Amino acid sequence: MKASRIVAIGLVVGAVAWVASGHLVPHESAQSRAAVRPDAGEAKLFRVAVAETKVAPHARKLTLSGRTEADKKVTITARTGGVLSEMRVKRGMHVKKGDIIAVLSDDAREAQVAQATALFNQRKAELEARRKLIEGGMMPKLEAVNLESQFKSAEAALAAATAERDRGVLRAPWDGIITDNAEVGGAALAMMGAPVAQMVSLDPMLAVVEVSERRLRGLKIGDEVEVRLVTGQKASGRIRYIAPIASQTTRTYRVDIEMKNPDGAIPDGITAEVAIPMAPVPAARVPRSALTFSSSGDLGVRVVNGETKVDFVPISVVEDDQNHMWVSGIPDGARVIVQGQDFVREGQKVVAVPAEVAIGSAQ
């Protein structure tokens, strides 16, 4: 019994001594180590890559999507009645100005011409014969006025009959290509006002684009323009027309670019991309990846001012050049962050290194 008490008392005394040792004997803690080594608690500055910008006049281009359009299109219609008896062209044929397109047959027109010719010849002979009698004093001079009037009337009737007959022959108004034609045959077809053929002229060819009112100011007639077709063809042209009135639906202005197309290689109605040169503006060239947004949603770039401070500079896009962007608003010689800009904020201190050094170290 005494032995067990002695053991219990010994255990209690040992426990008390162990607890007291934690308060009485000082131990090294994390805070004490930080106090001894104050430099170890400071965070390292973030490392970013910067590129120095150079502002220079940039000849920008306004790129718009449009379409090609034939300069001239026409539907040839009959201006008189008759039957379509002959069609001398087919779809796809090239014709010259004055070539016969079609012929309308009508015997009545030929009869009218013959009748008018006979009357004209009669009045002409009468005038010539009686004019000698009038000059000889055998007929009154007032008779000459009546004969002249009858002759002029017969001459006008012959001209009208001939013109009516000629309306039955349809001719090409200019050089072009036949895109559609009527068919010969069938019942007696009254052709007055009916379409007989359709023509298109491919030289010159137009590229038509719509320009917004904000960009209209920099355009003028005669400017040279580059045109790229969806087929890969390239052509050059000049601005021929700028609409003075905006479209009521899109509020844009039509602009026509005239291109030479002597061989007809550029078809009508194909998609085209038009690059219109604009007046040069001061701009800096930066990588597309350098562009970012501020906390307020403004588009811009982050720069390093002084040695370490990060600032945000809002920019305006002048031109998109695939891998790079031409922008305005950046001061000349600014150090733009091109790597790590999305991991820092305005006012933060960073370590700035040239972009070439950062790329080389990464490799």
Q: Which helix (H) or strand (E) holds 357?
A: helix 355-362
Question: How many angstroms separate the CA atoms of 348 and 312, rounded?
Answer: 11
Find out whether 326 and 58 touch, Cβ atoms under 8 Å.
yes
Question: How many angstroms separate the CA atoms of 2 and 7, rounded?
Answer: 9
Nearest to 202 by CA among 242, 229, 224, 175: 175
Nearest to 208 by CA among 150, 151, 265, 256: 256
Query: Taking the complete model, does pTM exceed 0.75, yes or no?
Result: no
Sequence-distant (6+) residues with CB within 8 A of 251 are: 212, 213
Instruction: Per residue of the chain (363 residues), give pLDDT as tens.
Output: 456 666 566 666 666 566 555 544 454 444 444 344 444 434 688 889 998 989 988 877 888 899 999 988 888 887 777 777 778 888 888 889 888 888 877 767 777 777 878 888 888 887 777 776 666 666 666 677 777 787 788 888 888 777 777 777 888 888 888 888 777 753 344 556 677 888 998 889 999 999 988 888 778 898 899 999 998 889 999 999 999 998 888 889 999 999 998 888 898 889 999 988 877 888 999 998 888 888 888 899 999 988 889 999 999 888 877 778 889 889 988 999 998 888 888 888 998 888 875 443 333
Grouping H, G, I as helix, E, B as strand and the rest as coil, residue 202 is strand
